[in-house]
Amino acid sequence: MELSNRFYQERKLETLVENQTSYNLEHAEMHVFETHQKAESVLLRFDQPVLASMISGKKVMHLHGANPFEFHPGESLIMPSKELMRIDFPEATSMEPTRCLAMTIDEHRIRQVLDMMNEKMPKADRILWGDIDGNFHFSNDQGIYQIIKRLLFLCTEKHPSIDLFVNNMLVELIVRIMQTNSLELHRNATPDMKNNNRISAVINYIHLNIERNLSVEELSRVAHMSASNFYKVFKHETGMSPVNYINIERIRKAMEMLRNPNVTVKEVYLRCGFQNRSYFNRLFRKVSSLTPNEYQSKMIVE
């Protein structure tokens, strides 16, 4: 993710560790942090819920109740208000600084969006959309990536209507993050959730039958819902259609299999539920930017 030329022209570097450039908005604050030398145990805390997203370099995050983990570009982290972060910067240099975006969002605005989602995008089983419980570390999908990129541009552009633009984008950002979190919860559902949550049950069924030709009608029967209602609820809760989710899971399985140098691409696509080699190649390249053969060769070299 690239920062604009205006950002570099207007920022002020005062130290080598955690220089901060901030932008104040109506319902949010945007901060870009830059670190120009290796450092350990840098402390940071925000009074509002925060979205942190890596721009360049690498951090090691130490959060309460979690094992330390690496934080890379293309990844984001949602944290509740007043969460204390302890951060290491193992690779930061003056030539290749570590850069991270941190965006705090007004809790009242988040609640407004959640209320709207409960009214217009109800979940199955009378479960309500609510705050994310604890910290949520995830890889940005294309939608979230484009919103973050656009928000960075708007802040540095200083357009007179910036608050109007940002307020609309905050709604989409919150909805997409909640759907990403919901999908992750369904993927990692406990046995109790699989038995008592219809969408969790369907996702588990998809994983167990990924090599088969699965239709929306079959999945709706697993959910004990009409096909049309199931399709709508599944898309509301996960941010994607059942068919798109099946294809993404098939490509994920294919990537795992292609790490084995002894399997052929034909074995992989057939065992992942694809009947057409050209369609598999096209979908695989859309997700990974590589052909299956290129991906397998890259994995073997690494």
> If you write DSSP's letter for every residue of the chain in order, what string do you get?
-PPPHHHHHH----SSS-EEEEEE-SSEEEEEEEE-S-EEEEEE--SS-EEEEEEES-EEEEETTS--EEE-TTEEEEE-TT--EEEEESS--SSS-EEEEEEEE-HHHHHHHHHHHHHHSPPGGGPPP----S-EEEE--HHHHHHHHHHHHHHHHT-TTHHHHHHHHHHHHHHHHHHHHHHHHHHT--HHHHHH-HHHHHHHHHHHTTTS---HHHHHHHHTS-HHHHHHHHHHHHSS-HHHHHHHHHHHHHHHHHTSTTS-HHHHHHHTT---HHHHHHHHHHHHSS-HHHHHHHHHH-
Residues 98 and 156 in one domain: yes
The three state secondary structure string of 43-74 is EECCCCCEEEEEEECCEEEEECCCCCEEECCC
pLDDT at 16: 65
User: Which among 152, 167, 184 is the end of a domain?
Assistant: 184
Residues 135 and 41 in one domain: yes
Residues 222 and 171 in one domain: no
**pLDDT tens by residue, 41-95:** 999 999 999 999 999 999 999 998 889 999 999 999 999 999 999 999 999 999 9
Residues 114 and 217 in one domain: no
Tokens of 144: 């979230």
Tokens of 131: 């705050």
Helix orientation angle between 227-238 and 242-258, rounded to the nearest 10 degrees? 60
Residues 196 and 177 in one domain: no
User: Which among 184, 209, 226 is the end of a domain?
Assistant: 184
Could you tell me which residues come within 8 angstroms of residue 302 by beta carbon, excluding any fewer than 6 positions away? none
Domain that holds residue 176: 5-184
Query: Residue 80 — left, alpha, or beta (φ > 0 → left; ψ -120 to 50 → alpha)?
Result: beta
Quickly count: other Cβ atoms within 10 Å of residue 187's Cβ.
14
Residues 283 and 199 in one domain: no
Residues 84 and 146 in one domain: yes
pLDDT by 10s per residue, the chain, length 302 = 777 777 777 777 667 677 889 999 999 999 999 999 999 999 999 999 999 999 999 999 999 888 999 999 999 999 999 999 999 999 999 999 999 999 999 999 999 999 999 999 999 998 999 999 889 999 999 999 999 999 999 988 878 899 999 999 999 999 999 999 999 999 999 998 899 999 999 999 999 999 999 999 999 999 999 999 999 999 999 999 999 999 999 999 999 999 999 999 999 999 999 988 999 999 999 888 899 999 998 887 66
CATH of the domain at 225: 1.10.10
Residues 155 and 205 in one domain: no
* Tally of domains in the chain: 3
Residues 101 and 12 in one domain: yes
